[in-house]
Amino acid sequence: MTKAQQLLHLLEQIPQQMQAVGLWQEQMPEPQAMLSQEPFAVDRLQPEEWLQWIFLEKMHILIKQEMPLPRGFSITPYFEECWKERLEYTPLLTLLASIDEVCA
């Protein structure tokens, strides 16, 4: 299995995990919220909004267009800090850690 296939498999599990803990949103944030220049759009989006509407979208585009995958990033620490009081999010955090590993 290629890295892109591994990543796609992991990305496809995120919506299910987010739905399981009530984080999945049906309504996209306001367009101006999507224009943030800050890491994780911390000034305009909740962590789960960034994950759903920015990260997932961009990663799917890269894979679909067969572009080089980003390397050496680590998103898990941000989400661990944001959700440190939410033990029910542990499966989602584990999934994000797997994504970090594939893209190491």
Q: What are the C-alpha distances in Å from 98 to residues 18, 28, 51, 103?
A: 16, 26, 15, 9
In a domain, 31, yes or no: no
In a domain, 30, yes or no: no
Q: Count CA atoms within 13 Å of residue 47 on its CB side.
A: 15
Q: What is the mean pLDDT of the chain?
A: 94
In a domain, 32, yes or no: no
* Structural domains in the chain (count): 1
In a domain, 34, yes or no: no
The answer, yes or no, to whether residue 19 has pLDDT greater than 90, is yes
pLDDT mean over 98-103:
95
In a domain, 80, yes or no: yes
The answer, yes or no, to whether residue 6 has pLDDT greater than 90, is yes
pLDDT at residue number 65: 95
CATH classification of the domain holding 17 = 1.20.1440.40
Model confidence pLDDT, tens digit, residues 62-74: 999 999 988 988 9
Domain around 87 = 3-25+39-102
How far apart are the C-alpha atoms of 52 and 68, rounded to whole Å? 21
Contacts for 99 with CB less than 8 Å, ≥ 6 apart? 7, 10, 11, 75, 76
pLDDT grade, residue 102 (50/70/90)?
Answer: very high
pLDDT grade, residue 1 (50/70/90)?
Answer: confident
Model confidence pLDDT, tens digit, residues 21-66: 999 999 999 999 888 999 999 999 999 999 999 999 999 999 999 9
In a domain, 44, yes or no: yes
